[in-house]
């Protein structure tokens, strides 16, 4: 009886939050997704430890995820700045028909996705995965100067994934 009442109370709370979220979304142009999770141990006899704790309740993991996102933003900025074919070092080639094609690469910061998980290693407690999309832009012109100044468009998107280890900081 008591367990059924707590489930009913939880469902009423979820419904209330959903209605509030829907009312707020009605005022905004863009709808937002609201995710709600309920934590209930499957076996009450087993205690919940940090290793068994759900990710959204693990405060250390949330802290490391925030630190990793900050590290990843700096990393993407450095990758863009140092890329061999960045906009400042774009490649201009003369085509067979006499026109010129300019090409450069850029990593879209908005495509960044970060994931952090606990590791089973004692020396590396966390592992972070950084995923992003690298875009290749091209433009054409009658001269090399015109090609550099022309309207660029995306010709290819390359997905990338990097794995980082946390050992006294993200590296």
Report the pLDDT value the prediction gives residue 62, as an integer from 0 to 100.
86
Q: Supply the pTM of this predicted model.
A: 0.62
Sign of the alpha-carbon torsion through 138, 140, 144, 149: negative
Report the pLDDT value the prediction gives residue 59, as an integer from 0 to 100.
82
Q: Report the candidate in 153, 156, 127 with the shortest Cα–Cα distance to residue 138.
A: 153
pLDDT per residue, tens digit, the chain (171 aa), is 555 555 655 655 665 555 454 445 445 555 555 555 555 555 555 555 555 555 556 688 889 999 999 999 999 999 999 999 998 899 999 999 999 999 999 998 899 999 999 888 889 999 999 999 999 999 999 999 999 999 999 999 999 999 999 988 888
Report the pLDDT value the prediction gives residue 122, as an integer from 0 to 100.
86
Report the pLDDT value the prediction gives residue 51, as an integer from 0 to 100.
56
Separation between Cα atoms, residue 53 and residue 34, nearest integer Å: 21
Domain boundaries, the chain: 59-166
Report the pLDDT value the prediction gives residue 44, as an integer from 0 to 100.
56
Report the pLDDT value the prediction gives residue 99, as an integer from 0 to 100.
93
Report the pLDDT value the prediction gives residue 137, as an integer from 0 to 100.
96
Separation between Cα atoms, residue 132 and residue 79, nearest integer Å: 11
Distance from chain centroid for Cα 150:
31
Report the pLDDT value the prediction gives residue 98, as an integer from 0 to 100.
93
């Amino acid at each position: 009886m008591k367990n059924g009442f707590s489930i009913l109370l939880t469902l009423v709370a979820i419904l209330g939050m959903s209605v509030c979220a829907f009312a707020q979304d009605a005022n905004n142009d863009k709808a937002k997704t609201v995710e709600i999770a309920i934590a209930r141990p499957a076996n009450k006899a087993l205690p919940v430890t940090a290793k068994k704790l759900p990710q959204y309740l693990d405060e250390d993991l949330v802290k490391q995820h925030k630190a990793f996102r900050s590290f990843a933003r700096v990393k993407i900025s450095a990758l863009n700045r140092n890329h061999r074919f960045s906009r400042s070092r774009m490649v201009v080639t003369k085509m067979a028909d006499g026109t010129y094609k300019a090409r450069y690469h850029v990593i879209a910061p908005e495509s960044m996705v970060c994931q952090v998980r606990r590791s089973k290693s004692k020396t590396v407690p966390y592992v972070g995965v950084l995923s992003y999309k690298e875009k290749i832009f091209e433009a054409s012109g009658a001269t090399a100067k015109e090609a550099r100044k022309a309207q660029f468009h995306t010709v290819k998107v390359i997905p990338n994934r990097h794995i980082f280890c946390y050992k006294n900081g993200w590296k």
